[in-house]
Copies of this chain bind each other. A is one copy, B any other.
Amino acid sequence: MDLHCPILPTDNDTVRLGHGSGGAMTQRLLTDYIQPLFNNTWISQAHDSATLPWNTDRLVFTTDSFVVTPLFFPGGNIGELAVYGTVNDLAMAGAEPKFLSCGLILEEGLPMVTLKRVLQSMAKAAQSTGVMLVTGDTKVVERGKGDGIYINTSGVGQQISQWPIEPGRICRGDVILLSGDIGRHGIAVMASREGLEFESNLTSDCAPLNRAVAELIQAGVEIHCLRDLTRGGLATALVELAESCGKTFSLDESRIPVSEAVEGACEILGLDPLYVANEGRFVAFVPESSSKLATSILRGTVAGSLCEIIGRVGDGDHPQVALKNSLGCDRLLQRLPGEQLPRIC
């Protein structure tokens, strides 16, 4: 499916911003450089987290570094993002987030008050999601070798779903739910970075997803797969999943919620909302029989109040994502090829 990856990394090449896009170039880095070296079940699965055996239990382990710029943006900051991002990766594997680590890389000259504000946000975010930050590390680099604060968080969670929640369980006929409107995080960060002002007060969708997932599990919804939409947006996430499970997804563009503000900003900036980053949105694959229950539960949660059924898993054996637009035409989606908005998370 990587039809449109014009820039392949080779040994003569250098790292480019697109390698951090979460799209096709990141994927190539993973398949060409990392997977051959770290050859184990979990790295090969290329999930956002690893579900590991731990005696009779299942432990979920994940990591993410956060390099967003600016550090503070409408609706959030790097501290919240660092907690929610990792909590969400655990939740997407059907795990209850339990423990978090925090690795800080600070740039010399960063005002202490900035650090304090970021740490306060992390503490508040950790408390609100019920995860405990239990271990950490701080490094400082010289001026001009960093950009204020970079944060790595890694997380450990305990699988609470009775079955694994993973791309391999996606079935023909599954309904695809989207938890809310897309593109707000990417546009909010970009607007803040570029000093753009839009009519409405557009804020990031940055939010924790673990409560919504826990409610689905507790209600007995048979979740086949979950994926949060981050770098690369809805389109990239769905293409990745279609490739992982080898199935065809059909989406109805008119059912995908996009706020007027995001729509307008995307038009001005020449962006496609389907590829714009989110930090508090996810897709869920559930059997038809559970879709009504799942939708009604999600609509009752903060994170899923705008939940919509946006498509279905079709009968085709070809891994592809087809989007039907308002004219009834199908457009095949691809991963984000290069970089759209660098340092969005």
A residues contacting B by CB (< 8 A) are 9-20, 26, 29-30, 33-34, 37-38, 40, 42-43, 47-50, 52, 54-57, 59, 61-67, 98-99, 101-113, 115-116, 119-120, 122-123, 126, 132-142, 144-147, 150, 152, 154, 156, 158, 342-343
A103 contacts B19, C-beta separation under 8 Å: no
The answer for the CA separation of A140 and B191 in the assembled complex, in Å, is 20
B61 contacts A106, C-beta separation under 8 Å: no
The answer for the CA separation of A48 and B156 in the assembled complex, in Å, is 17
B154 contacts A103, C-beta separation under 8 Å: yes
The answer for the CA separation of A141 and B145 in the assembled complex, in Å, is 10
B61 contacts A112, C-beta separation under 8 Å: no
B14 contacts A112, C-beta separation under 8 Å: yes
Instruction: Collect the chain B residues with CB atoms within 8 Å of residue A26's CB.
Output: 138
A-B residue pairs in contact (CB < 8 Å), sample of 24 = A9-B112, A10-B112, A15-B106, A16-B108, A17-B140, A19-B106, A20-B141, A30-B138, A33-B115, A33-B119, A34-B136, A38-B133, A40-B133, A43-B135, A54-B54, A54-B158, A55-B57, A62-B135, A63-B101, A63-B103, A63-B152, A101-B154, A105-B105, A145-B146
The answer for the CA separation of A135 and B45 in the assembled complex, in Å, is 10
The answer for the CA separation of A123 and B35 in the assembled complex, in Å, is 10
A111 contacts B144, C-beta separation under 8 Å: no
Given contacts A63-B136, A63-B154, 16 further A-B contacts (CB under 8 A): A11-B113, A14-B109, A14-B111, A15-B111, A20-B138, A20-B139, A20-B141, A37-B123, A38-B122, A38-B123, A50-B135, A63-B101, A67-B105, A103-B103, A139-B343, A140-B342
Write the nearest CB–CB distance from A58 to chain B, whole angstroms: 11
The answer for the CA separation of A29 and B62 in the assembled complex, in Å, is 26
A14 contacts B146, C-beta separation under 8 Å: no
A147 contacts B145, C-beta separation under 8 Å: yes
Instruction: Collect the chain B residues with CB atoms within 8 Å of residue A17's CB.
Output: 108, 140, 142
A106 contacts B20, C-beta separation under 8 Å: yes
Residue of B nearest to A124 (CB): B37
A133 contacts B43, C-beta separation under 8 Å: yes
The answer for the CA separation of A110 and B19 in the assembled complex, in Å, is 11
B63 contacts A137, C-beta separation under 8 Å: yes
Instruction: Collect the chain B residues with CB atoms within 8 Å of residue A66's CB.
Output: 139
Instruction: Collect the chain B residues with CB atoms within 8 Å of residue A103's CB.
Output: 63-65, 103, 152, 154
The answer for the CA separation of A64 and B63 in the assembled complex, in Å, is 12
Q: With a 10 A CB-CB cut-off, give which of A9, A62, A66, A156 has the most chain B CB atoms.
A: A156
A134 contacts B99, C-beta separation under 8 Å: no
